[in-house]
Amino acid sequence: MILITGATGTIGSALVRRLVDDGIPVRATTREPDHATFPAGIEVVRVDYREPATFAAAMTGIEAAFLNGVPGPDGTGTDAALVEAARTAGVRRVVKLSAIGTGDPRLAGPGSWHVPGEEAVRESGLEWTILRPNTFASNTFSWLEPLRNGHPVPNLTGDGRQAVVDPRDIADVAAAALRDTAHHGRTYTLTGPTLQTGRGQAAELAAVLGRPIEVTDIAPDDARAFMTAAGLAPAFIEGALIGQTFIRDGHNALLSGDVAAVLGRPPRSYAEWAGDHREQFMVSAREPSQP
Ligand SMILES: NC(=O)c1ccc[n+]([C@@H]2O[C@H](COP(=O)([O-])OP(=O)(O)OC[C@H]3O[C@@H](n4cnc5c(N)ncnc54)[C@H](OP(=O)(O)O)[C@@H]3O)[C@@H](O)[C@H]2O)c1
User: How many Å lie between the centroid of ligand 1 and the Cα of residue 212?
Assistant: 32
What sign does the CA torsion over 134, 137, 138, 140 have?
Answer: positive
Confidence class of residue 291 from pLDDT cuts 50, 70 and 90? very low
Ligand 1 binding pocket includes 50 (Cβ within 6 Å): yes
Ligand 1 binding pocket includes 157 (Cβ within 6 Å): no
Residue 26 has pLDDT above 80, yes or no: yes
d(CA 241, CA 258): 27
Assess contact for 74 and 117: CB atoms under 8 A: no
Q: CA 224, 229, 234: angle at the middle one, nearest 5?
A: 55
N-term to C-term CA, the chain: 48
* Mean pLDDT, rounded, for 88-109: 96
* Mean pLDDT, rounded, for 238-259: 96
Ligand 1 binding pocket includes 4 (Cβ within 6 Å): no
Q: Compute how many other C-beta atoms are within 10 angstroms of the C-beta atom of residue 57.
A: 14
Q: State the pLDDT at residue 69.
A: 84
Confidence class of residue 288 from pLDDT cuts 50, 70 and 90? very low
d(CA 214, CA 194): 22
Model-level pTM? 0.96
d(CA 128, CA 130): 7
CATH topology of domain 2-136+164-191+254-267: Rossmann fold (3.40.50)
* Shortest-distance atom of ligand 1 to CA 12: 16
Q: State the pLDDT at residue 284.
A: 63
Give the residue extent of every domain in the chain.
2-136+164-191+254-267
The answer for 41, left when phi > 0, alpha when psi is -120 to 50, beta otherwise, is: left
In the chain, the largest separation of any two C-alpha atoms, in whole Å, equals 58
Q: State the pLDDT at residue 285.
A: 57
Q: What is the mean pLDDT of the chain?
A: 94
* Mean pLDDT, rounded, for 116-140: 97
